């Protein structure tokens, strides 16, 4: 998920002003949403029964350390095998398996979404933010408004799941309090974090 903002650095806001700075929808690469249903899950290409190694690569436009950000690529490693990111069977998106400016525009068009990603600065804004320095943060998220349906259910809920890009996963719609609060010991573990030059953090 890539979410550009029109402001850089710490910025104060109040009320509805706070929703205007960043692209809240972002540009995402969800294999299920893209129509590749058997890619990620139990006993699938990326098998969620097993621990995966997740690799995210930030690739510059000219493959140099000083050129602008041009691509965000995702790979997985399981059973000592590198798994390339999913490809979409949707004709308009079939040529992409990473997040690029062209992919984001094509995705917004294919799904009938407004292109806030471009209007908020797109890859130029993302690159400027990376150049200023970022901190890696991981969390378990919950949302009382959308119940995280944008991640792995049907969203927006007022559209048909048969519409392109609306079905994002197999989770059922339910009030978030029913699924989260009775599970006070739920947890997730992130381990063996590495960062470095492209290709240096895993065995290819």
Q: How far apart are CA 108 and CA 165, in angstroms?
A: 9
* Judgement on whether residues 130 and 143 belong to the same structural domain of the protein: no
User: In this predicted model, which residue has the larger pLDDT, 180 or 111?
Assistant: 111
Query: Residue 82 domain-assigned?
Result: yes
Closest Cα to residue 111, out of 25, 51, 11, 34? 34
**Mean per-residue pLDDT of the chain:** 90
Percent of the chain with pLDDT over 70: 96
Predicted confidence band at 180 (pLDDT cuts at 50, 70, 90)?
low
pLDDT in tens, 31-72: 999 999 999 999 999 999 999 999 999 999 888 888 899 999
* Judgement on whether residues 65 and 142 belong to the same structural domain of the protein: no
Least confident piece of the model among 121-130, 131-140, 178-187: 178-187
Structural domain range at position 185:
138-189
Q: Which two tokens stand for residue 95?
A: 């040529």
Q: How far apart are CA 176 and CA 1, in angstroms?
A: 22
Q: Is the pLDDT of residue 175 over 70?
A: no
pTM: 0.90
Answer yes or no: are the C-beta atoms of 138 and 120 closer than 8 Å: no
Number of compact structural domains in the chain: 2
Query: Residue 200 domain-assigned?
Result: no
Any bridge partners for residue 167, and if so which? 154
pLDDT of residue 178: 58
Q: Is the pLDDT of residue 114 over 70?
A: yes
pLDDT of residue 63: 84
pLDDT of residue 204: 75
Query: Residue 203 domain-assigned?
Result: no
């Amino acid at each position: 998920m890539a979410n550009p903002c029109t402001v850089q650095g710490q910025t104060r806001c109040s009320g509805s002003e706070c929703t205007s700075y960043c692209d809240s929808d972002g540009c995402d690469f969800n294999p299920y949403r893209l129509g590749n249903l058997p890619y990620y899950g139990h006993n699938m290409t990326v098998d969620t029964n097993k621990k995966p190694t997740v690799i995210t690569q930030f690739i510059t436009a000219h493959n140099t350390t000083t050129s602008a950000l041009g691509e965000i690529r995702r790979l997985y490693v399981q059973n000592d095998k590198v798994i390339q990111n999913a490809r979409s069977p949707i004709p308009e998106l079939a040529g992409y398996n990473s997040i690029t400016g062209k992919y984001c525009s094509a995705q917004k068009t294919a799904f009938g979404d407004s292109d806030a990603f471009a209007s908020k600065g797109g890859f130029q804004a993302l690159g400027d933010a990376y150049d200023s320095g970022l901190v890696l943060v991981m969390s378990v998220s919950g949302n009382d408004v959308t119940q995280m349906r944008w991640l792995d259910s049907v969203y927006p809920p007022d559209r048909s799941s048969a519409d392109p890009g609306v079905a994002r996963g197999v989770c059922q719609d339910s009030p978030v309090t029913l699924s989260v609060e009775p599970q006070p010991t739920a947890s997730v573990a992130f381990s063996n974090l590495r960062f470095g030059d492209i290709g240096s953090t895993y065995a290819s």
